[in-house]
Amino acid sequence: MSLEDVYRRNLQHRTHRAGWLRAAVLGANDGLVSTAALMIGVAAAGKNDFLLTAGVAGITAGAMSMAVGEYVSVRSQNDVEESDRLLEMEHLATDPESELIELQHIYIQRGLTPDLAMQVAQQMHQKDALEAHLRDELGQHPHTKARPIQAAIASAISFTAGGLIPFAGAFAPTVGAKFWSIVVFTLGGLLITGLVSARLAGSRILSPTLRVMLGGSLGMLITAGIGKIANISGL
């Protein structure tokens, strides 16, 4: 097998998508559910004059909130990783022998004999000791490294795309049709989100799709109930 074949096979794994896939799936799902829930709550409360305004406000505020929240969260994760990197550099500079033995123990726990583990650890230290410890001791890999800007953009775009699906239901001709159009459009969007996320992750189709649809349906049901209560109470 050539190096090109090995590289092609490695691309079949989904791990390299971890930096943006989670943010994109979460953003799309949150955009669908939160926008639909907001608009359904407004419709159930009888405030149909504000339905489009509520939808636009919900999508805009949600997309910005998701982007900022995702950036801050992922950046904090980067800060932790960078702190561990600096600490590991300090350990290698002050006590390389203990770090070598530590790496040997890691390889022993993975199934190598002590002698072979020491040989591998020595080879890793000669090549790039810091990279070996970041990878094998701390589990830091370049292809799974969180990317805050990428995650924030993916989150904002996917939230907006998800929010536009239930928002389209608000253009139905009658008040009753608006409510049910939002519900139907949202269920269709949740179905697509579940299928796409399962496909991108390489997992089974049925279970993730049902989980997404049931969670979204529960959110809409609860919000519709609260909207009805608010309408009856005259709030």
232 has a pLDDT exceeding 70: no
Closest C-alpha among 131, 150, 151 to residue 141: 131
Q: CA 195, CA 1: separation in Å to the nearest integer?
A: 34
Mean pLDDT over 222-229 rounds to 77
Give the per-residue pLDDT at 233. 52
Most confident of 25-34, 40-49, 89-98, 224-233: 89-98
What is the tens place of the pLDDT at every residue in 115-158? 999 999 999 899 888 888 888 888 887 666 767 888 888 888 98
Give the per-residue pLDDT at 59. 92
Q: Is the pTM of this model over 0.75?
A: no
Percent with pLDDT over 90 in the chain: 16
**Site of tokens 């998800």:** 162
Element spanning 173, H or E: none
Domain ranges of the chain: 26-229
48 has a pLDDT exceeding 80: no
